[in-house]
Amino acid sequence: MGSEQVRRWESGALAHAVTDPFGQGPVPWLRGGETYFEDGQVIPWYVDRDADRGTGAGAERAEAADRAEAARAPGRRRSGGGPRAADDVHRQIKGFTSQGAVAPGEAIDFHVTVDPPQEFAVDVYRIGHYGGDGAAKITTSPRLSGIVQPPPLTADRTVSCHHWWLSWRLPIPSYWRIGAYVAVLTTADGYRSHVPFTVRSRDPADLLLVLPDITWQAYNLYPEDGRTGASLYHAWDENGRLLGEADAATTVCFDRPFAGAGLPLHVGHAYDVIRFAERYGYDLAYADARDLHAGRIDPTRYRGMLFPGHDEYWSAAMCRTTELAREQGTSLVFLSANTMYWQVELSSSPSGASDRLLTCRKRRGPGRPVLWREVDRAEQQLLGIQYAGRVPEPHPLIVRNAGHWLWEATGAHEGDEIEGLVAGEADRYFPRTPLPEHEERTLLAHSPYTDADGARRHQETSLYRAPSGAWVFASGTFAWSPALDRPGHVDPRIQRATANLLDHICKRD
């Protein structure tokens, strides 16, 4: 596959040229689906070998090229010095945690491989606004002894590293703030990788932010080595070619690092929302999707549940808990598209840890269908709209019902175009699919776009009020979250509309 510049709106190289919250050089926040080989090595999609070396996006692409060069010549530091991104071919440093979200007072275990063996350190950052920095360093580990862990185990395309030795146990102090964290792993010779984790709390709050860790794992192709890695979308054949969904895994394991830089695909969506919400002082609790699945979430403790990013894979337990939340008066805010699309099952790992294997059989072989809409539980019955398809190029979001309170003080008028806000994937209202019970319902955008086949489609943004009084909002586009706090994508109208929504949910009589 060639190294032509990727023009999609979610390009990490283009979107994050302005800021690096970890202070260690550009980070590929949003990894694309395109990976190609050069001289037998995996080169990430965002590398533009011919980029001019200057500032902004060109500088970041040049930095990415330097990292690719370093990956092909592990013993050589790039000319500017400083950290280099580890890769899945050489596994200079890679790691994962053996827990999901943890609470203050508990501990989280890191399993790390280092090749060649050498000391490494872990810098722990909390994602937030922090004066615009995007994250703050919370602690640093002592120097740790790194070893080469055994190769990943594979069975029927399922890749697991559950047999890796424990490398570091981090006790979470009781005074740490709950939130989304990233551990930055750095070797003595300057290679770097990342491990995300969550610190949760059961204390009441206005809003519960649910991180989509199940969907993150569904897309994880670790290891991206041209041989072993597999996700629910891709796997490799014996010639190192990347195969499609029909040949992908049906079960993936949480006991493994994330591919590439160690950050999940679409993780930036969630971090955009976190930075926005913390900047404006919303009272947030945090959890992940497996907490929702396992029954560790009591919806009555929150005025609203906030789903900040792409959240495509849902278990039956997740659906039941979220529906119960709505019925009990807890509002729901879905800030992306293609939510609750595939049914999944969670089971224990070979080590016996619960909810460490994720299975989605999709359309292969006999058995029940696995789209929620095919089992009389269409996502529209929860969200008010549902997945319509991909959006190959960004299109404007067309404002509808501009007199509604959500658009108040945004400056948006009926029919106004908000450029680039329909992107990635889109949802819309399906007239032949039942709607949820509602006291009132409004479509706040109706936006035409052209799909990959040249056909005219449309996107919609939805808000309804359930009989319980709960509000349910669905943005219907991938680009809503980046418009809240991502350099080059911020739109004040979307910021104000989102604040109107959250204020309405959180208001106290």
Band (pLDDT 50/70/90 cuts) for residue 35 is: very low
Instruction: State which residues form the domain around 452.
Output: 270-506
CA distances from 91 to 112, 149, 187, 254, 261 (A): 10, 10, 11, 18, 11
Band (pLDDT 50/70/90 cuts) for residue 450 is: very high
Distance from C-alpha of 264 to C-alpha of 12, rounded to nearest angstrom: 12
* Cα dihedral value 489, 211, 340, 97, nearest 10: 120
CA distances from 421 to 32, 41, 94 (A): 19, 36, 35
Band (pLDDT 50/70/90 cuts) for residue 415 is: very high
Q: Is the pLDDT of residue 478 over 90?
A: yes
Q: Is the pLDDT of residue 174 over 80?
A: yes
Query: pLDDT tens digit string along 200-232?
Result: 988 899 999 999 999 999 999 999 888 899 999
Residue where the block lists tokens 């900040």: 308
In a domain, 239, yes or no: no
Query: Going edge to edge, which strands form the sheet with 313-315?
Result: 251-253, 357-359, 342-347, 313-315
Query: pLDDT tens digit string along 137-150?
Result: 999 999 999 999 99
In a domain, 206, yes or no: no
How much is the pLDDT for 486? 84
Mean pLDDT of 292-321: 95
Q: Is the pLDDT of residue 51 over 50?
A: no
How much is the pLDDT for 81? 54
How much is the pLDDT for 363? 65
Band (pLDDT 50/70/90 cuts) for residue 36 is: very low
In a domain, 339, yes or no: yes
Element (H, E) at 277: helix 267-279
In a domain, 491, yes or no: yes
Q: Is the pLDDT of residue 376 over 90?
A: no
Band (pLDDT 50/70/90 cuts) for residue 13 is: very low
In a domain, 463, yes or no: yes
In 265-385, DSSP assigns E strands to 284-288, 302-307, 313-315, 331-334, 342-347, 357-359
Distance from C-alpha of 42 to C-alpha of 27, rounded to nearest angstrom: 17
In a domain, 189, yes or no: no
- Closest listed residue to residue 20, CA positions, set 144, 127, 141, 166: 127
Read off the CATH number of the domain in which 361 is found. 3.40.50
In a domain, 135, yes or no: no
In a domain, 152, yes or no: no
* Cα dihedral value 31, 27, 13, 78, nearest 10: -120
Mean pLDDT of 306-331: 96
Selected residue with higher pLDDT from 218 and 73: 218
- Closest listed residue to residue 225, CA positions, set 37, 423, 30: 37
Band (pLDDT 50/70/90 cuts) for residue 281 is: very high
Tally of domains in the chain: 1
